[in-house]
Amino acid sequence: MAGLYIHIPFCRSKCIYCDFYSLPMRIDASDYIDALLLEFNARKKEITEPFRTVYIGGGTPSVLPLSGIVRLLSSLELDWSRVEEATIEANPEDITTEWCAAVKQAGITRVSLGVQSFIDTELATVGRRHSAADALNAVRILRNAGIRDISIDLIYGLPGQTPDSWRSSLNMAWKTGADHLSAYTLTYEPGTRLYARRQAGKIVETDDDIIVSMYMDLTAEARRHGFNHYEISNFARIGHEARHNSAYWKGVPYLGIGASAHSYDGCVRRWNPRSLSAYMADPASSCEMESLDADAVHNDMVMTGLRTAHGIDLTLLDESELRLVGRYVDSGMMSLLADDRVRITEQHWLVADSIISDLFRVG
């Protein structure tokens, strides 16, 4: 199996914490869609297996004109009968009955909704354009439209957020009936307005102790509501795990098209320019590439696998790595799974980075 990722680099406005590649929305993005189709046709042969998942991310794909999204999906020369999941990211203010009907008809099975918080003051502080009521309304419309899978994104550690307000957002998320939740810690990325405001003393970063307590609430509440914590930031009811992302975490090949998109075919990593003008100048062949050596493949496997409940295959580790894993298992930070696999325990996922870097190979 393989995945297709399509990057839409447009947003209506820039959230203050965001360092994704995104630009102000242009009214007519038809030239960008033409470029995506050109690139797909030129590069689809890089992936020899059939595409089983499609993921349209951004940016904010839902800001595209509806006719543009439909044209993009209907013009992709894919064997849709083999596509098991097709996701589009959307912001709540863009969801309408007409939008749902059109994207569903075009093949979309899953919508990932950028909610971030159900508290209006928290949304306003980080520059989100929607309200909590907009988000609830959006989920209601998606459900009424029969969209098979709905995922909600939330952030913890937002400026002004408290453990109580975080619990309120979580409670609202469960009440919506969505079967998938992605919950991320707010990060202060250099170059963002959030970072600059913290440096200027206008925003106070949430204490680590509070972040830990929010994470513990998140994992306990998710379990209580029947959600499986299957990746460090992702929770789902059984059968509603994101197939596209799960395949990516298992090292399945994927083709990424669009400005700043990345691709991986199992041996070679490719990345498109993080510049709309550079991409548009030559969409079919503007990517750079690097062949991965054995150490890089190992490091990718460790980095992605240890962020999942599926873990990594012990038979792929050398003797010194196995000794290290043994010490982590003895200390309770890792646990052994069936089929010779090992994972980081849920309560230690917050310190996953240090465990992962211990298992990196440096050539």
Q: Rule CB under 6 A: is residue 188 a binding residue for ligand SF4?
A: no
Q: Which stretch binds ligand SF4 (CB under 6 A): 8-16, 39-47, 165-173, 248-256?
A: 8-16
By beta-carbon proximity to ligand SF4, the closer residue of 58 and 258 is: 58
Number of residues that bind ligand SF4 (CB under 6 A): 11
Spatial distance between the Cα atoms of 345 and 343, rounded to a whole number of angstroms: 6
By beta-carbon proximity to ligand SF4, the closer residue of 183 and 306 is: 183
Among the listed residues 1, 18, 292, 303, the single contact to ligand SF4 using CB under 6 A: 18
Spatial distance between the Cα atoms of 68 and 248, rounded to a whole number of angstroms: 27
Site string for ligand SF4, 57-96 (x = CB under 6 A): -xxx------------------------------x-----
Spatial distance between the Cα atoms of 235 and 220, rounded to a whole number of angstroms: 11
By beta-carbon proximity to ligand SF4, the closer residue of 63 and 333 is: 63
Burial of 77 (0-12, 13-18, 19+ CB in 10 A): exposed
Spatial distance between the Cα atoms of 296 and 95, rounded to a whole number of angstroms: 41
Q: How far is CA 235 from CA 151, 308, 363, in A?
A: 9, 11, 35
Q: What are the structure tokens assigned to 124, written together? A: 């306003």
Q: Rule CB under 6 A: is residue 125 a binding residue for ligand SF4?
A: no
By beta-carbon proximity to ligand SF4, the closer residue of 130 and 240 is: 130
Residue 308 DSSP one-character state: B
Q: Rule CB under 6 A: is residue 114 a binding residue for ligand SF4?
A: yes
* In contact, 244 and 3? CB cutoff 8 Å: yes
Shortest reach from residue 64's CB to ligand SF4, in Å: 13
Q: Which residue number is nearest to ligand SF4 in terms of Cβ?
A: 18
Q: What are the structure tokens assigned to 70, written together? A: 């439909």
By beta-carbon proximity to ligand SF4, the closer residue of 14 and 44 is: 14
Pick the closest to residue 116 from 90, 154, 152 (CA basis): 154
By beta-carbon proximity to ligand SF4, the closer residue of 245 and 299 is: 245
By beta-carbon proximity to ligand SF4, the closer residue of 127 and 163 is: 127
Q: Which stretch binds ligand SF4 (CB under 6 A): 18-26, 67-75, 77-85, 352-360?
A: 18-26
* In contact, 243 and 85? CB cutoff 8 Å: yes
Q: Which stretch binds ligand SF4 (CB under 6 A): 55-63, 196-204, 272-280, 300-308?
A: 55-63
Q: Which stretch binds ligand SF4 (CB under 6 A): 52-60, 93-101, 219-227, 288-296?
A: 52-60
Q: Rule CB under 6 A: is residue 157 a binding residue for ligand SF4?
A: no
Cβ within 8 Å of residue 25, ≥6 positions away: 10, 11, 12, 60, 63
Q: What are the structure tokens assigned to 62, written together? A: 């839902």
By beta-carbon proximity to ligand SF4, the closer residue of 119 and 359 is: 119
Q: What are the structure tokens assigned to 134, written together? A: 């907009």
Spatial distance between the Cα atoms of 22 and 271, rounded to a whole number of angstroms: 16
By beta-carbon proximity to ligand SF4, the closer residue of 4 and 11 is: 11
Q: Rule CB under 6 A: is residue 22 a binding residue for ligand SF4?
A: yes
Burial of 283 (0-12, 13-18, 19+ CB in 10 A): buried
Among the listed residues 2, 8, 15, 35, the single contact to ligand SF4 using CB under 6 A: 15
Shortest reach from residue 194's CB to ligand SF4, in Å: 11
By beta-carbon proximity to ligand SF4, the closer residue of 58 and 283 is: 58
Among the listed residues 4, 6, 11, 259, the single contact to ligand SF4 using CB under 6 A: 11
Shortest reach from residue 8's CB to ligand SF4, in Å: 9
Spatial distance between the Cα atoms of 117 and 221, rounded to a whole number of angstroms: 16
What is the sign of the dihedral through the CA atoms of 345, 162, 171 and 132?
A: negative
**Bridging pattern class, strands 51-58 and 23-24:** unpaired
Spatial distance between the Cα atoms of 78 and 51, rounded to a whole number of angstroms: 7
Q: Rule CB under 6 A: is residue 14 a binding residue for ligand SF4?
A: yes
Task: List residues near ligand SF4 by CB under 6 A.
Answer: 11, 14-15, 18, 20, 22, 58-60, 91, 114
